Structure 1
Amino acid sequence: MAAAVGRICGARLLKNYGAVTPQMLSTLGVVGGGVGALLFALEQSVQASGNEAHPPHQPWSHGGMFQSLDHASVRRGYEVYKQVCKACHSLQYIAFRNLVGVTHTEDEAKAEAAEIMVRDGPNEEGNYFERPGKLSDYFPSPYPNENAARAANNGAYPPDLSLIVSGRKGGEDYIFALLTGYVDAPAGVVLREGQNYNPYFPGGAISMAQVLFNEAAEYTDGTPATASQLAKDVATFLRWCSEPELDDRRLMTIKVIGMFSLLTAFIYYLKRHKWSTMKSRKLAYKPVAKK
């Protein structure tokens, strides 16, 4: 980095204003590079010092830069959430309208929304009432407040799953490893009542019991509901919840790369065949000889 700064200064791309000298810029480059390397080393050391296991990377169908989500898997993951996870975890940032065109048709999403009752109002008489859900409604929380959630889960607060993939290091790899990684506690590890051991959870002791087993949920498309299949699908669904615009963003990336490729070729043509003659011409002054 310091060498790059030095070359820039040597080419006089940066002028010397007042007390700023090329030597100072080179020093700043060296210091900046050193600080960046130190921060990277500290992050790696903190990760290595943790007592939880690191989740292995899984070959997700959406793992590549230009790969889209498997929408059939997203739909199955929604079914897993509805049948298993919904009892404890909320999706407060996801509305039923978000399902339209992704996992459900508009009529199917309306039917899903109509299964819940939403407190609305006040009406013309000033009273609150309950009505069937609409597409504009968000997924309801299974508990009225945090205290009720903790009371029902031995003091543990089930986190909201809307942004859980983006909020946990490892993303969907962590979710999949956590859901399938329950084992017996090793010797020397003491668990309190209601706790379970999971090596992928920080500290190992987790209040959530293992919830995904073979046939723990039922798929409408007939896919065998093994524990690993359930975990894979719900992790894919939660990835979509964290980034509903993922497919659109990657599609836009493809369009941008194609557009800039054409522009680059056009600019190269102008540079090579139009401006090269302008840049390489030679102007000569020939005074008229006196007669």
Structure 2
Amino acid sequence: MIRLIGILVGLGFAFVVLLTFAIGFYTWSTEESTETAEHAFHQEAIAPDGGFAFDGPLGNWDIAQLQRGYQVYKEVCAACHSLNYVAFRNLGDLAYSEAQVKAEAESWMVPGINPDTGEAAMRAATPVDYFPSPYPNAVAAAAANNNAIPPDLSLMTKARPNGSNYVYSLLTGYDDAATYTNEDGHRFAEQFPDSMPGTGLYFNPYFANLNIAMAPPLTTAGQVTYADGTEATVDQMSADVAAFLTWTAEPKMIARKQTGWWVLAFTLFATILAWFAKKQVWAAVKPKRED
């Protein structure tokens, strides 16, 4: 009797599952799909002309570009965004000398302790310190940015699909929602008037929901004066800071690629040795002939 009840209960569960699946399939197949603004106007990230020097299995860091990207971050992005996982000493990997790293660190102020009073105070950073946040806490960050907390940029290119291209596209992709037209010739303002950016928001087709709280950070050529004399166009500055943030997210990327080539070479060499060893071991063994 108990076994019969168990079978009936199991069949009941199976029936409910099949019925739920059937209802869901029927609803999915008959319901009219409603195209959203994000689906119709979101654009996939694109790379700058010529791509990045670190792209591909043989890519390498463009140190000059990384230094320019750091300059863009320092003079533009650092006003709102932190690099909590990057220490000043890491700048030595960008071909800065020890003295330059020390001087660069001292140009930043970080939280510390007043040795005379024991109270919290700001002090000049040292190479072992990490890049500080521009805000004391999340509440202050939200209050200064229309209730949107600027994210830390240390790992941003790893946190977004196609991260390097995403950062570049986002910085260069701001547009006027009232006149924006997609590749199909549809005007955003006419097709989705209810999705127009509200107060404090800006239209960007590369952002997930099209409306972003961050104002365009790079707006005019020459906004940054590069130390190496490179012309600082919006496109150039965007590509440079995208490359720099790729380095902050994965500083060992090039070393990983180079190690991968050695691993492949060793694997190929070991395979060849194993094949010759197999030939040597079985050389004296003749296959049996079938009569």
Give the shorter-chain TM-score range. 0.7 to 0.9
The residue aligned with 2:211 is: 205
Q: Counterpart of 1:209 in structure 2: which amino acid?
A: A
1:28-50 per-residue CA deviation (whole Å, 9 max, x = no partner) reads xxxxxxxxxxxxxxxxxxxx947
Q: Cα distance 1:267–1:217, how it changes in 2: closer, same or farther (>3 A)? A: same
In the alignment, is residue 145 of structure 1 matched against residue 137 of structure 2?
Answer: yes
In the alignment, is residue 53 of structure 1 matched against residue 59 of structure 2?
Answer: no
Whole-Å separation in 2 of the counterparts to 1:55 and 1:168 = 10
Q: Cα distance 1:269–1:90, how it changes in 2: closer, same or farther (>3 A)? A: same
Q: Cα distance 1:157–1:263, how it changes in 2: closer, same or farther (>3 A)? A: same
CA drift at 1:133: 1.1
| Correspondent of 1:120 among 107, 112, 118 | 112
| Correspondent of 2:237 among 230, 238, 243 | 230
Q: How does 1:263-278 map to 2 (within 5 A)?
A: 263-272=270-279, 274-278=280-284
Across the two proteins, how many residue pairs are aligned to each other? 235
Whole-Å separation in 1 of the counterparts to 2:286 and 2:249 = 54
CA drift at 1:120: 2.8
The residue aligned with 2:167 is: 175
SS in 2 for 1:277: coil
Q: Cα distance 1:231–1:279, how it changes in 2: closer, same or farther (>3 A)? A: farther
Whole-Å separation in 2 of the counterparts to 1:153 and 1:125 = 34
The residue aligned with 1:88 is: 80
CA drift at 1:97: 1.1
The residue aligned with 1:18 is: none
SS in 2 for 1:250: helix
The residue aligned with 2:21 is: none
SS in 2 for 1:177: helix
Superposed CA RMSD: 2.3
Whole-Å separation in 2 of the counterparts to 1:112 and 1:63 = 29
The residue aligned with 1:246 is: 253
**Does the 8 A contact of 2:202 with 2:213 survive in 1?**
yes
**Does the 8 A contact of 1:66 with 1:254 survive in 2?**
no
The residue aligned with 1:156 is: 148
Q: Counterpart of 2:106 in structure 1: which amino acid?
A: A
The residue aligned with 1:19 is: none
Whole-Å separation in 1 of the counterparts to 2:73 and 2:200 = 22
CA drift at 1:159: 0.7
Q: Counterpart of 2:200 in structure 1: which amino acid?
A: G
**Does the 8 A contact of 2:81 with 2:134 survive in 1?**
yes
Q: Counterpart of 1:53 in structure 2: which amino acid?
A: Q
**Does the 8 A contact of 1:74 with 1:103 survive in 2?**
no
* % identical aligned pairs: 40
CA drift at 1:127: 4.6
The residue aligned with 1:99 is: 91
Whole-Å separation in 1 of the counterparts to 2:246 and 2:285 = 52
The residue aligned with 1:36 is: none
CA drift at 1:255: 1.8
CA drift at 1:263: 2.2
TM-score, normalising length: structure 2:
0.74
Q: Counterpart of 1:181 in structure 2: which amino acid?
A: G
Q: Cα distance 1:56–1:101, how it changes in 2: closer, same or farther (>3 A)? A: closer
Q: Counterpart of 1:108 in structure 2: which amino acid?
A: Q
Q: Counterpart of 2:43 in structure 1: which amino acid?
A: A
| Correspondent of 2:199 among 193, 201, 220 | 193
| Structure 2: gaps of 5 or more residues | 1-37, 179-188
The residue aligned with 1:184 is: 176
**Does the 8 A contact of 1:118 with 1:133 survive in 2?**
yes
Of stretches 120-129 and 55-64 in structure 1, the one that deviates more from structure 2 is 120-129
Q: Cα distance 1:184–1:124, how it changes in 2: closer, same or farther (>3 A)? A: closer
In the alignment, is residue 133 of structure 1 matched against residue 125 of structure 2?
Answer: yes
CA drift at 1:68: 1.5
**Does the 8 A contact of 2:109 with 2:125 survive in 1?**
yes
The residue aligned with 1:219 is: 226
